[in-house]
Amino acid sequence: MSADLPEWYREGYDNIWLPYTQMKTAPDALPVVGTDGVYLELADGRRLLDGIASWWTACHGYNHPGMKEKMKAQIDRMSHVMLGGLVHEGALDLSRRLAGLLPGDLNHVFFSESGSVSVEIALKMAVQFWLNQGIEGRARFVGFKAGYHGDTSAAMSVGDSDDGMHKAFGGYLQQQYIRTLPQSDEDLAELKQFLRENKDSIAGVIMEPLIQGAGGMKFHEAEILGGIAEACRKADVLFILDEIFTGFGRTGTMFACEQAEVVPDIICLGKALTAGTVAMAATVATDRVYEAFLSDDPEKAFMHGPTYMANPLACAAANASLDIFEEEDVLDRVKKIEGHLTQSFAQFRDKPGVVDVRVKGAVAVIQLERIEDTAKLREEFVREGVWIRPLGDVIYVTPALSIESAEISALTEAIDNVLNRSSWNDSNQ
Ligand SMILES: *Cc1c(COP(=O)(O)O)cnc(C)c1O
């Protein structure tokens, strides 16, 4: 380990276990000492332009003054208080605001600390929804290939069963119905039939609307989303949308489901909910789902309660982020970002090894035939001064929604430089 790395790095590195990382062979992680706007500041003074906004969280960029001011004020008042038997202003304000922003009657907000947990909660809610009405046996879910819903067990079980992240756990996970995402009317008719035939064992269908994120940044049309929603309605199975990636402006509307005019029974929110500051997620249910839990029987209550649920500091962050959505025309900026990305990514279509280029909202994707070594490719991007994490066979950017035009150009130029140097994909030649 290099001697010019900071002391905290040299002394602590052996004690940390990093995500999705082969600790024996992976290149050492980069020491970050600060963030600023769309930049990461490294210990050696370098600044990297962040193309992925810290796993799609930092929607307003880092260190936004409005976020900082309101979070600091909240720390002075109260960082945390349990939600069991107690409530606080931030949680109620945030619940009311989310219910107002979400389409239809998604009115009942259940908080948690991570996206995966919000998915676990959605699944449990769906199972208990049927049980509370005296309907037994509806405890399985339909999920889709290339779907990703998190790393906890039930969340893994409804995601793509063959993806590299979850393959090892097949024997441990609950069996679900994992199907190919419909692409045509014919596929939709097949799904409809499948739901009709198996509805007695199905609690619900879960999917990511418009973009399957971690499973490869795969897009589908609003009509497909609408068709799946319709199939669920016809078969009377619950429709669960995981907007942990797509929510909060990422696809051009506040929530992706708006583009298909679809209202799910349950929606999961996370990631950009607190604009990349502190951990928080939410599972929001419609009146119909919520009402199935109202009873004189205490056992029909929803049996879940994360320790840090509705953490006041996280609520303050989420409320501050919603203030920014109101004060700054963020969605209008996404339109401009989409235009810029569409125009500048078009040039990549003709590069060797490029299979597809696609843009939706502030998500731009270059699909390659394959990427031999994503870590090596990542290092090439760092050399160009940008932080981009290729995923499977795609290079993608999901920048902060506050990114300036010149910064988008810098990102694009860095990608162009790397694609022109094919050395990172040598064994592909
Ligand atoms: C990131 C993500 C999750 C998991 O969220 P965590 O906060 O990492 O647990 C679930 N679903 C989707 C669509 C995601 O993008």
User: Is the predicted pLDDT of residue 428 greater than 50, yes or no?
Assistant: no
* Per-residue pLDDT, 429: 44
Binding-site residue numbers for substrate are 55, 148, 271, 305, 389
| Ligand 1 pocket, residue 120 CB under 6 Å | no
Residue among 74, 27, 36, 80 at smallest CA distance from 54: 36
Residue 196's pLDDT band, with cuts at 50, 70 and 90, is very high
Q: How far is the CA of 152 from the centre of ligand 1 (A)?
A: 10
CA 392 distance to own-chain centroid: 17
| Ligand 1 pocket, residue 150 CB under 6 Å | yes
| Ligand 1 pocket, residue 149 CB under 6 Å | yes
* Per-residue pLDDT, 4: 85
Q: How far is the CA of 368 from the centre of ligand 1 (A)?
A: 24
Kind and range of the H or E run holding 356: strand 354-360
User: Is the predicted pLDDT of residue 427 greater than 60, yes or no?
Assistant: no
CB-CB contact of 209 with 147 (8 Å): no
Q: What is the mean pLDDT of the chain?
A: 96
d(CA 70, CA 346): 40
| Beta-ladder partners of 387 | 50
Per the annotation, the verdict on 373 as an active-site residue is no
d(CA 265, CA 51): 33
Residue among 123, 46, 8, 54 at smallest CA distance from 398: 54
* Per-residue pLDDT, 164: 67
Could you read off the pLDDT of 331-359 as tens digits, one per residue? 999 999 999 999 999 999 999 999 999 99
| Ligand 1 pocket, residue 148 CB under 6 Å | yes
Residue among 306, 288, 240, 286 at smallest CA distance from 132: 288
- For 52: left if phi > 0, alpha if psi spans -120 to 50, otherwise beta; the answer is alpha
Per the annotation, the verdict on 160 as an active-site residue is no
Kindly list the structural domains of the chain, giving each domain's residue range(s) and its CATH number in brackets, ordered by start: 7-63+330-428 (3.90.1150.10), 65-327 (3.40.640.10)
Per the annotation, the verdict on 151 as an active-site residue is no
Could you read off the pLDDT of 241-267 as tens digits, one per residue? 999 999 999 999 999 999 999 999 999
Could you read off the pLDDT of 109-134 as tens digits, one per residue? 999 999 999 999 999 999 999 999 99
Exposure on the CB side of residue 107, measured as CA atoms within 13 A: 8
Could you read off the pLDDT of 70-88 as tens digits, one per residue? 999 999 999 999 999 999 9
User: Is the predicted pLDDT of residue 215 greater than 70, yes or no?
Assistant: yes
What average pLDDT does range 403-428 have in this prediction? Answer: 88
d(CA 429, CA 251): 35
| E strands, 208-321, in order | 211-212, 218-219, 238-242, 266-269, 281-286
Catalytic residue among 70, 192, 218, 271: 271
